Structure 1
Amino acid sequence: MRPLTSAMTTLKKSLLAALKSFLRGRSFLQALLAFWISPNALKEQHVNGKRVYPSRTIENFLEEAEKLFLGPIDGDGLKRYSSDLKRQFRERLHSHPECMLPSFNHLLPTGKERGQYLALDVGGSTLRVALVELRGREATGKESEIVRMVSFKITPEIKKLEGMSFFDWMAARIYEVIHKDIPHGQDIIPMGLAWSFPVEQTSLGGGLLLGMGKGFLATNGLLGQDLGELIKFACKKQGLNVQLEAIVNDSSATLLSQAYVHASTRFGLILGTGTNIAVHLPVSAFSRAKYGKRPESWFESATHVIVNTELGMFGKDILPLTRWDELLNAGHPRPEFQPLEHMLSGYYLGEICRFAIIEAVETAGLLGGQLPPSLEKPYSLDTEILSRIEADTSPGLEAALSYWTTHHPSTTPPTLADITAIRTLATFISRRSAALLAASVFSLWELRHETEAEHVPATLKPTPSNDSGVVLPLPSVDEEIKDLESSTKVAFNGSVIEHYPQYLPTCQNYINDLVSRSQHPGSVDLVPAIESSILGAAVALACATTTAA
């Protein structure tokens, strides 16, 4: 009976430890999963009142973590993954209603658009109203400029404004900014809008309002109504006769803002709290059903279209998950909705690291075996903290130590060895993110090559230029191929890719390596897109109004 009694005692201790972990803020499922993954975490002993850890060292732990995070992307692993990802992209050109979504915007700027344009950017926390001047691509370094911009904080009180009250607030802010600039006798004020919320577009400048989320009540009683008409009606109360001519999301705006400067820009990349990519693809690459209801005239004039990939939704069953990724998914309300976003974006990188730190504390004595109380709460390790720690390259990591202890104090102060280990974990996680993002860009770049080769011969037809009313012939197949062989620009924006230490060069290096092994010619360069939402909305407006003229 002694072995059975011993086994029952071990099980009892295990369940108690799991329950304690649950009470500290981790879910019961996470605690049990952590036990089965690493049972040594629950086998600690005490000798002379001191905690004694299993024989595993922090060096052993980091060696395993490196294999789990980076092993699958070393060698040919990243190339194999990119091929699997490209296969998913292809499949969803013809299916799935929530990703690979062709927009109504099929025009890229010629770089000849000039003038001043009213642009709005509505995000989760800020409304920005700007007057943007476009001077032409030949005005090197000064192609576009924000002449004036005013930002208005969207406070919790404003988020609670219901229905038209929110749009009335918007209209009042627009009036504040532009009423002195309206030329006497101007009938209609055209406007471009970067809208960071779901909308079912029905035209380039029209779309049906969908739930905004993020605590906004503006859609109450207005779901399904036209966004452009709502803004127009609200502005009319302020004496402004506006017309919404173009609606873009953040990734499309990023693409357009740099396409105005660099003619070879075909991608817009966002990587901050979330992630997404917009790409310019042939219209004929998609099944007709993906376009929904739109007039035949749109298909007659469009050869290519800006596509909202909803990148974060890809990767199911092909991503190289670690046990810490699985813990994140186990506690997520929709674990399979955005699998790739969980491994790329700033919202999740800190949480993955938190799970790894918890295990290292329990099994390898990291941080003296004492988890700071603040880290018991899910999503309590902000990615910005990892960024600050990685930014410190000094021998003593004084800045990193100070930043860590300020945000996550503990009765057992961290040592240099502790912060070095945490910094090492952070580099594994950020490097994996950069590699997977590079594979995403590369897969879409190859997809663009392939769809152009498949569909260019079938799509030769006259199309109107977007800077005149003259009908011009399509470029020849040779010209299309020549364009593909040149350097393709990927415009980027977002806090992680812009500010996380070494993220951008690491991602570019992975892209360069993948492109060098591709059968397709050309290069792919990441280029920054500053103030891309506002500038992209202005460029979209310029394209729309110049064409209409």
Structure 2
Amino acid sequence: MQPFIAAMLKVRQAFYAAAIRSLLRTKSLLKSILSFWISPSVLKAKDVETDVGSLLQTRIEEFLEDVEWRMRNEVKKERLLAFSKGLKGQLEDSLLDNQQCMLPSYNHQLPTGRECGTYLAVDVGGSTFRVALIELSGRDGAAPESKILKSRSVKINQAVKQLKGLAFFDWMAERIEDTLSGQSEGQETSGAPLAMGLAWSFPIEQTSLRSGLLQGMGKGFLAAHGLLGQDLGDLIQDACSRRGLKVQLNAIVNDSSATLLSKAYLDQTTRFALILGTGFNIAVHLPVHVFSPSKFGVRPSTWHEAAKHVIVNTELSMFGAGILPFTKWDDLVNASHPQPQFQPMEHFVSGGYLGEIVRLVLVDGIQTAGVFGGVVPPSLREEYSLDTETLSKIESDPSPNLTAARQIFLARHPMTYQPTVNDLQALHSIASNVAYRASSVVAAGIHALWELRNDAEHILASDSEHTLVAYNGSVMENYPGFRASCQSKLDSLVEASGGKAGMVELMYAEESSLLGAAVAVACLEG
């Protein structure tokens, strides 16, 4: 009998150890199994609960430490410098023959800051249409450099997106007319048409500063239906003429170019513009000699004679293949993505993907370490169900018990299990580490472009002057600590290259799309 009892004890002990190692999903399930195998005389129920709880928490802490190591170790200064160097090499290659990236715009003039006048600015985004009448007064006078005299913002709902072909441009012209109604008598009776600039957040094949061939817009828009390849400038100009509007479209810019122009009008040290919200991109001002002639396509000789520099749409989101610090969770993002190699850097840093990375890490932690009691909220089984805005609000909660974070999370992801403070802290930790990695990668991208520009201008890092990186976008503007983390990493990289902290500075660009569109037109009249 004794050998049998001894054998049973060994079986129980082995099972107990295996169960703890695998950390079954809920404490109650683990406790029930242990209660069945272990007699009260061997282990008291209270001791089981305490021991199991302690071991579960240890397992969660080990998981979180692993997440932190994977997200932060690969973006330490030495590794970031190596990534920046590799990225710079990819950028240099794309200056020669890549027709998708490092695209020189038609904007070759930066504002002097002395441009003055009244301009109509139109901004067409993925969800909002904005029109503004903007007065530029220059930065040397007593009046504010810019002033919005009139403005109108309209949500682009599904009905508007469904407008096909010319109907969409007629809708635009009607909104412009609504905004301009009630102008002063002097503006109404002036013989010259009102100069207009357009910020267009969709693909076009630009053929001049005010022209570009319309391409598919995506995001549910049907405006290009039957109009693919037609000139965007003419489509908008003709729509305005049909309503009798005295306006003249003189410039089309994308959002990154508009951001650069808007801040350069206010500060002449601006040479970069960063867009980081749902998407990701950077514009940079570079000398034209670094490009192969084929990158410019067919342009009039007058443009080449005048252009010494040009604003470049880098499409930086498309870079980083083979050199980004991938984790198993990034591999999961790519495994289900229809174009996993198209925008590798955007998958690491943009608001469109940060929530998905955190979701994948969290689900992993729930299933393998017992976070959230081992219970996956039903909604989190769906791809992209955890958005970056939710994470931003969770990280904004300063309370020790994360009360606001709990309410926000459960409102958007209801579940029968009630998360503990430790569970919420785990989610907070995961989000923080993912955001930290993203801010570091963005800093490395800016650093690579800064070094590329220094080389192109034959400037030593130690001699480089203060340079502004204008930014906007929901992640840069709203995600807690993101901008500060990005600036800190950027300072570290610049110092490692021989520069000084603060030499390359991130600065918010307010109303960048509208102001940039107006400035683009004003530069033509300077």
Same structural fold, with TM-score higher than 0.5 when normalized by the shorter chain: yes
The equivalent residue for 1:543 is 523
Query: Contact (CA 8 Å) 2:316, 2:345: kept in 1 or not?
Result: yes
157, 161, 166: which is aligned to 2:168? 166
Q: CA deviation at 1:514?
A: 0.6
Q: CA deviation at 1:411?
A: 1.0
SS of aligned partner of 1:393: coil
1:320 aligns with 2:325: yes
381, 389, 393: which is aligned to 2:398? 393
Q: CA deviation at 1:396?
A: 1.6
1:271 aligns with 2:276: yes
SS of aligned partner of 2:206: strand
Per-residue CA distance 1:423-478 (angstroms, 9 max, x = gap): 0111100000100001111110110000111xxxxxxxxxxxxxxxxxxxxxxxxx
Per-residue CA distance 1:462-498 (angstroms, 9 max, x = gap): xxxxxxxxxxxxxxxxxx8899722100000011111
The equivalent residue for 1:532 is 512
Distance 1:443 1:398 in 2: 41
Q: CA deviation at 1:273?
A: 0.6
The equivalent residue for 1:523 is 503
Task: Classify 1:75/1:201 alpha carbon distance in 2 versus 1 (closer, same or farther; 3 Å).
Answer: closer
Q: CA deviation at 1:251?
A: 0.7
Query: Contact (CA 8 Å) 1:449, 1:484: kept in 2 or not?
Result: no
201, 215, 239: which is aligned to 1:234? 239
Letter in 1 for 2:523: C
SS of aligned partner of 2:90: helix
The equivalent residue for 1:98 is 100
Which segment is superposed worse, 140-149 or 60-69? 140-149
Q: CA deviation at 1:220?
A: 1.0
Task: Classify 1:212/1:365 alpha carbon distance in 2 versus 1 (closer, same or farther; 3 Å).
Answer: same
Q: CA deviation at 1:185?
A: 4.4
Q: In structure 1, list runs of 5 or more residues that go unmatched.
A: 1-38, 454-479
The equivalent residue for 1:73 is 75
Letter in 1 for 2:430: L
Q: In structure 2, list runs of 5 or more residues that go unmatched.
A: 1-20, 35-51
Distance 1:214 1:317 in 2: 29
Distance 1:388 1:113 in 2: 40
Distance 2:22 2:98 in 1: 44
Alignment of 1:319-338 (within 5 A): 319-338=324-343
Query: Contact (CA 8 Å) 1:206, 1:244: kept in 2 or not?
Result: no
Distance 1:231 1:41 in 2: 62
The equivalent residue for 1:138 is 140
TM-score (norm 2): 0.88
Task: Classify 1:514/1:352 alpha carbon distance in 2 versus 1 (closer, same or farther; 3 Å).
Answer: same
Q: CA deviation at 1:47?
A: 5.1
SS of aligned partner of 2:188: coil
The equivalent residue for 1:177 is 179
1:245 aligns with 2:250: yes
The equivalent residue for 1:491 is 470
Distance 1:403 1:540 in 2: 42
Q: CA deviation at 1:187?
A: 3.9
The equivalent residue for 2:15 is none
Letter in 2 for 1:381: L
Distance 1:291 1:50 in 2: 71
Query: Contact (CA 8 Å) 2:164, 2:223: kept in 1 or not?
Result: yes
SS of aligned partner of 1:444: helix
Q: CA deviation at 1:241?
A: 3.5
Distance 1:232 1:44 in 2: 64
Query: Contact (CA 8 Å) 1:490, 1:526: kept in 2 or not?
Result: yes
Alignment of 1:157-306 (within 5 A): 157-181=159-183, 182-306=187-311
SS of aligned partner of 1:127: strand
Distance 2:474 2:66 in 1: 29
Task: Classify 1:82/1:482 alpha carbon distance in 2 versus 1 (closer, same or farther; 3 Å).
Answer: closer
Distance 1:340 1:272 in 2: 13
Alignment of 1:370-389 (within 5 A): 370-389=375-394
Distance 1:266 1:140 in 2: 25
Larger Rg: 1 or 2? 2
Letter in 2 for 1:311: L
Query: Contact (CA 8 Å) 1:446, 1:520: kept in 2 or not?
Result: no
Task: Classify 1:396/1:525 alpha carbon distance in 2 versus 1 (closer, same or farther; 3 Å).
Answer: same
369, 372, 375: which is aligned to 1:367? 372
TM-score (norm 1): 0.84
Task: Classify 1:83/1:483 alpha carbon distance in 2 versus 1 (closer, same or farther; 3 Å).
Answer: closer
Letter in 2 for 1:172: E
Which segment is superposed worse, 318-327 or 146-155? 146-155
Letter in 1 for 2:332: L
Q: CA deviation at 1:176?
A: 1.4
SS of aligned partner of 2:97: coil
Distance 1:44 1:503 in 2: 34
Per-residue CA distance 1:376-427 (angstroms, 9 max, x = gap): 1110111111111111122221111221122112111000000011101111
Distance 1:352 1:417 in 2: 20
The equivalent residue for 2:126 is 124
Alignment of 1:79-90 (within 5 A): 79-90=81-92
Query: Contact (CA 8 Å) 2:102, 2:312: kept in 1 or not?
Result: yes
SS of aligned partner of 2:131: strand
Q: CA deviation at 1:520?
A: 5.3
Q: CA deviation at 1:538?
A: 0.5
Per-residue CA distance 1:179-215 (angstroms, 9 max, x = gap): 4324314242221000011111111111111111111
Query: Contact (CA 8 Å) 1:449, 1:520: kept in 2 or not?
Result: no
Query: Contact (CA 8 Å) 1:367, 1:414: kept in 2 or not?
Result: yes
SS of aligned partner of 1:107: coil
Q: CA deviation at 1:232?
A: 1.2
Task: Classify 1:140/1:507 alpha carbon distance in 2 versus 1 (closer, same or farther; 3 Å).
Answer: farther
490, 497, 520: which is aligned to 1:511? 490
Aligned Cα RMSD in Å?
Answer: 2.2
The percent identity for this pair of structures is 52
Letter in 2 for 1:490: V
Query: Contact (CA 8 Å) 1:209, 1:226: kept in 2 or not?
Result: yes
Q: CA deviation at 1:99?
A: 0.6
Q: CA deviation at 1:127?
A: 1.2
Q: CA deviation at 1:49?
A: 4.8
Task: Classify 1:47/1:537 alpha carbon distance in 2 versus 1 (closer, same or farther; 3 Å).
Answer: closer
